[in-house]
Amino acid sequence: PVHNSEVYVLSQTPFPNHLHRGGRPSPPSPITPAEDDFCCSPIDKLPLHNFVEPAIAACEEQLAVESRLSGAVHLLNTASTALSCITDLYSSDRIARDGFHRAVDAIVRRQGDHGRNGKLVIIGVGKSGHIAKKLVATFNSLAIQAVFLHPTEALHGDLGQINSRNDTLMLITFSGKTPELLLLLPHLDKSLPLILLTSHTRPETCEIVRQRPDTILLPAPIHEPETKSFGVSAPTTSTTVALSVGDALAMVASHELHPSVSKVFAKNHPGGAIGAALRGSSVSPSPSISSSTSGTTPSSSRTTSSMSISSQPPSPPSPSPARRSLRDLSIPLHEIPCLETPLHNQPGHDPITPTLTAADLLLAAYASPSGWVRLSHGGGVVSPSRIKRLTPSQLSLSLSDPRLSWLVTPQTEFLSLTADTEVRNAAEWI
């Protein structure tokens, strides 16, 4: 090898001759050292035995773990995004909000005695069928009567499960055009309310709604196709969203039907860890309170109890929720503000029929301390729970409009009960 450095300068003119006329010559190049002197420290030979391989297997295992967790986090994040989008939809979209309101109303109005003991029939096939079965279990646990109906079995005799007068129908289909449901649709009674839980957000894009224009659309869309999210069209994000919307429907309807949803659920779910937890929370006494209860007498059907607190004088016990009387819950009729009906007379004409709108009712309820409103014309009353179900599009409607027939409770539907009647006994009697 060459160990000296040389610089060659190329020029069109020759070097000046003053170097040959006494100029200082360039220093000589250094002598190349001998090989033995140059290699001061010998290089160790590479071992051919006992070779330590790099930890490639450990790296691959760690990469596999990270890949698994990355896939799981991606799916969970996609589901979270979908739920966030569906929350925004029901917070702002008029069609979605109106559909949810109408769906709750259709379920609530046909439950119990006033609905002539109607039930909710949920229909679906495939993954939608599994969602339907889960929602049936949720509705029943919240004391809303519901049954599952397979569309194919319905065409082979199970249509007999549907009460053609009192039931509410609910179809679940992501595509909105499931063949089994389209075959069943002509055989469903058109007089029954029909709720459709689907990915469509507009009625004009859904085949089932085109065939049944009076269908109540309950949108459950996803923000992106599952093929784009996961590379496969397996129902994942869509099932999560559908279950969430269905659960929301069940919870809201149950709160409107029952004064205490937690007690209803505890009664219907005595088993398992949930039942044990509910029993424990209901029977565990306070450490500073001792109580004794005597038996119930058949003649009076009343329970007497005594309660004392250590080191303190006894105080009157507060009635348990099950033994409270109607007096504890009810609002005296004379304390409910009355919405007066303005009468406008024209000379030479009969009095004009008074017109009150839902907006007038909403203003009166806002000013009412209890939220209840009484109507001077007809004597009906309106509860806060029904006022909350009003949609913005209904505020301009007259209270006599048939579309608001559910809003006012007329005097003909009043029940006469003594104020001292226990709530439990009143519920059983009703």
Both tokens of residue 8? 């060659």
Contact 118/168 with Cβ under 8 angstroms? yes
Amino acid letter, residue 93: D
Q: Where are the domains of the chain?
A: 68-225+236-266, 333-345+352-429
Q: Which residues contact 333 (CB under 8 A, 6 or more apart)?
A: 374, 381
Q: Which of 151, 103, 147 minimizes the C-alpha distance to 124?
A: 151
Lookup result for tokens 């099932």: 239
Q: Which of 394, 397, 343, 399 minimizes the C-alpha distance to 375?
A: 399
Q: Identify the pLDDT of residue 311.
A: 38
Q: CA-to-CA distance for 254 and 261, rounded, in angstroms?
A: 7
Q: Which of 211, 127, 187, 87 minimizes the C-alpha distance to 196?
A: 211
Host H or E run for residue 254: helix 237-257
Q: Helix, strand, or coil here: 381?
A: strand
End-to-end CA distance of the chain: 111
Q: Which of 168, 200, 182 minimizes the C-alpha distance to 89?
A: 200
Amino acid letter, residue 343: L
CB burial string 238-249: b at 16+ within 10 A, e below: bbbbbbbbbebb
Q: How many residues does the chain have?
A: 430
Amino acid letter, residue 272: G
Q: Which residues contact 406 (CB under 8 A, 6 or more apart)?
A: 105, 109, 386
Q: Identify the pLDDT of residue 7.
A: 67
Q: What is the largest CA-CA distance in the chain?
A: 146
| Residue pLDDT tens, the chain, 430 long | 556 667 666 666 665 555 555 556 666 666 555 555 555 566 666 666 666 666 677 788 888 888 899 999 999 999 999 999 999 999 999 999 999 999 999 999 988 655 567 999 999 999 999 999 999 999 999 999 999 999 999 999 999 999 878 899 999 999 999 999 999 999 999 999 999 999 999 999 999 999 999 999 999 999 999 999 999 999 999 999 999 999 999 999 999 988 888 888 888 777 766 666 655 655 444 333 333 333 333 333 333 333 333 334 444 444 555 467 877 778 888 788 888 865 444 444 444 445 789 888 898 888 888 889 988 877 789 999 899 889 888 888 988 888 898 899 888 888 888 888 888 787 777 7
Lookup result for tokens 């060459």: 2
Contact 371/410 with Cβ under 8 angstroms? no
Rg (CA), the chain: 40
Q: What CA–CA distances, in Å, run from 46 to 35, 42, 49, 152? A: 21, 12, 9, 75
Q: Helix, strand, or coil here: 198?
A: strand
For domain 68-225+236-266, give the fold.
Rossmann fold (3.40.50)
Orientation of helix 237-257 relative to helix 261-268, angle to 10°: 110
Q: Identify the pLDDT of residue 297.
A: 34
Q: Helix, strand, or coil here: 125?
A: coil
Contact 419/330 with Cβ under 8 angstroms? yes
Lookup result for tokens 């030479």: 348
